[in-house]
Amino acid sequence: MSTTPRIAIVGAGLGGLVCARVLQQRGLPVTVFEREAGPNSRSQGGTLDIHEHTGQDALRTAGLFDQFLALSRPDGQEWRLYDRHATLLRHDQADGDDLSRPEIDRGRLRTLLLDSLAPGTVRWKHSVQAVTPLPHDNTRLHHHDRVVEDFDLVIGADGAWSRVRPALSDAQPAYAGVTMVEAHFDDVDHRHPGIAHLVGGGTMLAKAGRRSLVLQRNSDGHVRAYITFRGPQDWHAGLDLDDTEAVRARLLALYQGWDESLLGILRDNEGGFLNRPMFVLPVPHRWQRVPGITLLGDAAHLMPPAGVGANLALLDGADLAQAVIGHPTIDQALDAYESVMLPRAIDHARTARQMLTTLMPGTDTGTDAGTDTGSHAESDAPAFPAPFWPAGGVPDAAPAHTG
């Protein structure tokens, strides 16, 4: 870059933070705007499998790979597949030295990235309301308090309900026809031995027709459950979602006939249930260039969670930073970045959409766990297809954005 550009990143998620880290490594100043009050203001979601040729490459570019490995859980790559009768159909365990997709809690990875940045890089409690292109290729950020700031480059890393995206695209997330309901278990090895037995050291999936149950082991004996089913977005009509017992009864009715050990996922959780309808952007999602504005991660390519979302966000962030560093103008940098990112995102989104159709069919076939548990279109896919849990990010229960 021949001059020092003014760069703003909207959203302190994984993609935005790794982008900021790589830029700072090369001496380029950057400001990250985040609507959250601070790094610990809310839960950051479940566990992520960080893939060898996407997320791990991004962390290497950021100079954080060794620190990531120290925090990761290679044993979390274990997978178990059940039918609705709790019959174990498949059990995959990684070798002790397999680092192809180790697990890490999203919160721990985010903290690693935050700690790698210069103090003051992230402006907490700074919600961006809109972005306006200006003459001479500048871009104006409109903050929640009516303050405006101008930048040479604005990067929308603000997730599904991005406030930056409308400056580039009219696309809006649409309900994908599938909902996840999240539940939690603590100290499972002592307090919930049945759950611990089902999940093992990693992730389990039980599936039949248009319904599935997923358990993910996180750090410190915590397990997250994802009760996933195809149906209308208002499946809870007539229910108060804060009425835990009423929601539990509705869910138990949906899973009538499943094995009692699996129904323990619905009966024995600690706390309430979180409704998380799944939203997606259209495929393909492209935009005409607007000078000085681009997107990464879910803001650019929100897709069904199929194990790639967080990895693509990390890779997007690293690729974009390297493009800015390696080109003399912002426009050339965005040409280089988007010419790689957009086709890659479209390919993954199509694969994720096909996985959604295969694993959550539009009609209830009545069959158990999937007919094709070994084939997958992506070269770095799991040994059997993971359905829809937040390896790439939990869908928000209500429209929200992180910028």
- 177-197 pLDDT, tens digit per residue, is 999 999 999 999 999 999 999
The pLDDT of residue 201 is above 50: yes
- Residue 3: pLDDT band (50, 70, 90) is confident
Using pLDDT thresholds of 50, 70 and 90, give the confidence band for residue 76. Answer: confident
- Beta-sheet strand order (sheet of 128-133): 128-133, 139-143, 148-151
Q: Is the pLDDT of residue 385 over 50?
A: no
Does the pLDDT of residue 65 top 70, yes or no? yes
Question: What is the overall mean pLDDT for the chain?
Answer: 89
Output 178 or 97, whichever has higher pLDDT: 178
| Cross-strand pairs, 222 | none
Higher pLDDT, 41 or 170: 170
Strand ranges (E), 144-237: 148-151, 153-156, 174-185, 203-208, 211-217, 223-230
pLDDT, residue 1, reads 61
Do residues 61 and 110 make contact, with C-beta atoms less than 8 angstroms apart?
A: no
pLDDT of 383 > 50? The answer is no
Closest to 152 (Cα-Cα) out of 361, 345, 2: 2
Specify the range with the lowest mean pLDDT, choosing from 81-85, 209-213, 366-370, 393-397.
393-397
What is the b/e burial string over 321-331, where b = at least 16 CB atoms within 10 angstroms of the residue's CB? Answer: bbbbeebebbe
Question: Residue 11: pLDDT above 80?
Answer: yes
- pLDDT band at residue 145 under the 50/70/90 scheme: confident
Residue that the structure tokens 């397990």 belong to? 223
pTM: 0.90
**Does position 363 have pLDDT exceeding 90, yes or no?**
no
Residues 253-278, mean pLDDT to the nearest whole number: 97
For residue 362, give both structure tokens. 């539009």
**pLDDT tens string 268-292:** 999 999 999 999 999 999 999 999 9
298-312, 363-377, 387-401: which has the highest mean pLDDT?
298-312
pLDDT at residue 317 greater than cutoff 50? yes
pLDDT for res 133: 95
Among residues of the chain, what percentage have pLDDT more than 90?
Answer: 78
Spatial separation of the C-alpha atoms in residues 107 and 185, rounded to whole Å: 17
